[in-house]
Amino acid sequence: MHTQNQFCSMAIMIILLYLFLRQKRVGLYTEKVFLRTLLVAMLCVSLDILSLIAIHYRADIPAPFLDLICKSYIMTLIWVSYTALTYVITDLYTEKEYYKKLRQIRPWTILGMIIVYCLPIYYHTDNNEIYTEGPAVLATYLFAISFIIATIYTMARYGSRITPKRRFAVITWMVLWFLTAAVQFLNNQLLLVGLGCGLGMMALYCTLENPENNINHAYGCFHQHVLVRYLQQCYERGLSKSVMFISFISERQQGINENYMDDCLRKLISWAKDNDSVKVFRGVERELAFVFSDMSEMSKAFTQIQEQFYYDQFYNQKSAKDGNNEEFPVSLFILFPDTLLLNDGNEVMSVRRAIYADNSNITSSFVCYANERLLEQIRNKKQVMSQIIQALEEDRVEVFYQPTYATKDKHFASAEALVRIREKDGTIIPPGQFIPIAEESGLISKLGERVFEKVCAFLKENNPEKLGIKYLEVNLSVIQCEQRNLSEHYLDIMKKYGIDPWYINLEITETGSVSSKNVLLSNMNRLIAEGVSFSLDDFGNGQSNLDYMIDMPVSIMKLDMNMTQSYFTDLKARFVVRATIQLAHELDLFVVAEGVETKEQLDEMIALGVDYIQGFYFSKPLPAKEYLKFLHTHGSPV
Ligand code: C2E
Ligand code: CA
Ligand code: CA
């Protein structure tokens, strides 16, 4: 009787079970699936050994008992092949769907086992060979092979959705099984299937299920890559968790010793270790994620951490409770009160990235609450960004033109180009809904460039002289003005379309810093040298200063709509508007009044000496074709 291989396999699996149970585990359901698979494999090998012993001593054992042992063994072979199939599908479904699928496959397994139990089994022993045969064994092969084929089919069909690691592990398992079965089939004395089973489990453990892979030993916590899986699972189970990210802010890292930073990180982790209700995950850089069972646990922990480690900064006192007088590195706290507010487990990471990228949501004490309002804002931003990207890709960015009336010449001498996005269903999205997000995300450069190209293409197609247009006004975002290569880029575009720069007027607004003002100035000078002119947009909207009008080489000053309209409602504004127009004229600038909506406003502005009028009184911004029609009908002086 040869049972060495089976005992060897058992030993391997006992060691695996020990290692698996000994390690700290995150609590993923895939861990449970593995444990179940391992236990089934152990049962299979134990019954294998038992059946060999029983056959060996079959003269001393009652026949029904012998049948029961041997049939139980071959029944577990079906069970093991069924678990292989269930193992591959864990990546394909959510936890709920997974268990639903199991319920669909399980009856076949049970049916297989019942059939095996009902069919007769025969024993064969001569010399050193011991094996079973007969209909029950045949049925076992049939069912086991069907499950193995289903496993291979699933991997082939949905391979891309199964993680490569899982595919590799299951293929190794199947190959080991197949090879050992083939050897055993050819040489009945070599009972290798049991060993194949154990080695297969080892392959699964080493590639996939070693809990060590999830543990960051250097810090004694979990790796962040399992955080998403863990949260996803909680999400699917409808379990709410609260997550707190703590990350040392990098600018402040300067001056703080690297080792000290590391010590601080370890202190936070060891604080969490004393607290049973928290799971700690370590991210890249100096970031930790603490997962709590609920909001109140997180609030409690947050207060404790603040008091214990950040005492100095928050209370401005030099007496941290742990007796450490050194300052704890300033950290950003991102608090997710309820992970069920998220769309899935992955969103925690994308929201956290968005918060890092845009610090406007962070309070002065470096805390950010990822509450419903913020999540909505971040989702909206993401959606608008993909709307812009898609519109750019699918050429759904359009330019509308709002005619500008020249009061002296009494005709529509120019127009402002205003961007729109046309949705697939034809609806128009106004710039107010996407320009701020395009600016924040940097997409404005591409968008602005596209608008400029469209304007150049329009000028190329329609002879501006014939239309009576002196120039077209195109908006430049502050972000674009800060780019050093802007002027060369725009000159290239004009060259590409063969447009004389005289037909282009670029509208600028105030930029924040001195350095960006200098970049803007050099861009302006380069473009002005080629013939482009500039307007100072939105003058009087609260962000503009008189010195900008004086310093910058603009030839036109545009009165913001609010300023134009307040002229008619506010006595003080009247003086300001009058004085501004006078000053602009003294500086040799033309003045445009934006937002003129009524005949009364028009007359008043003309009386004030405004050179150009732009507003709904004459026209709203129009699509290119309608603008051409407009010029056609209003071609002669009004
Ligand atoms: P803006 O540059 O001040 O453009 C004038 C805005 O005032 C336009 O809104 C126009 O439709 C609106 N407007 C003009 N006359 C009247 C009026 O009589 N009454 C009222 N209620 N509104 C009037 P629009 O097209 O929605 O553009 C909004 C803003 O979006 C623009 O303000 C500009 O800051 C930005 N924008 C538009 N196109 C572009 C672009 O291509 N690039 C950049 N960077 N920004 C753009
Ligand atoms: Ca403008
Ligand atoms: Ca404006």
* Backbone φ, ψ for residue 273 (5° rounding): -65, -30
Residue 3 DSSP code = -
Asked if residue 477 has its Cβ within 6 Å of ligand 1, the reply is yes
Asked if residue 561 has its Cβ within 6 Å of ligand 1, the reply is yes
Residue 318 is predicted with a pLDDT of 46
Asked if residue 622 has its Cβ within 6 Å of ligand 1, the reply is no
Residue 328 DSSP code = P
Taking the CA of residue 614 as reference, the ligand 1 atom at the shortest distance is: 15
pTM value is 0.72
Residue 637 is predicted with a pLDDT of 43
H-helix or E-strand spanning residue 629 = helix 624-633
Q: Which of 412, 435, 479 maximizes ligand 1 atoms within 8 Å of its Cβ, making it the mutation to test the pocket?
A: 435
Under DSSP, is residue 614 helix (H, G, I), strand (E, B) or coil? strand
- Which residues line ion ligand 2, judged by CB < 5 Å? 475, 507, 537
Residue 574 is predicted with a pLDDT of 93
Residue 326 is predicted with a pLDDT of 61
Q: Are 94 and 106 in contact (CB under 8 A)?
A: no
Question: What DSSP string runs through 541-604?
Answer: SSS--HHHHHHS--SEEEEPHHHHHHTTT-HHHHHHHHHHHHHHHHTT-EEEEE---SHHHHHH
- Encode pLDDT of 293-349 as tens digits: 999 999 999 998 888 887 655 444 444 444 445 677 778 899 999 999 998 888 998
Asked if residue 407 has its Cβ within 6 Å of ligand 1, the reply is no
Count other C-beta atoms under 10 Å from residue 191's C-beta: 23
Q: What is the mean pLDDT of each run of 10 residues along the chain (638 residues)?
A: 84 93 86 90 92 88 91 91 84 85 91 93 76 88 88 85 83 84 76 83 85 84 90 90 88 68 87 85 88 93 85 49 61 91 88 83 80 91 95 97 96 97 95 94 95 98 92 95 94 97 95 82 96 94 77 94 92 92 95 96 96 97 97 71
The per-type count for the chain, helices as H runs and strands as E runs, is 24, 19
Asked if residue 509 has its Cβ within 6 Å of ligand 1, the reply is no
All structural domains of the chain: 4-211 (1.20.1070.10), 217-370 (3.30.70.270), 389-633 (3.20.20.450)
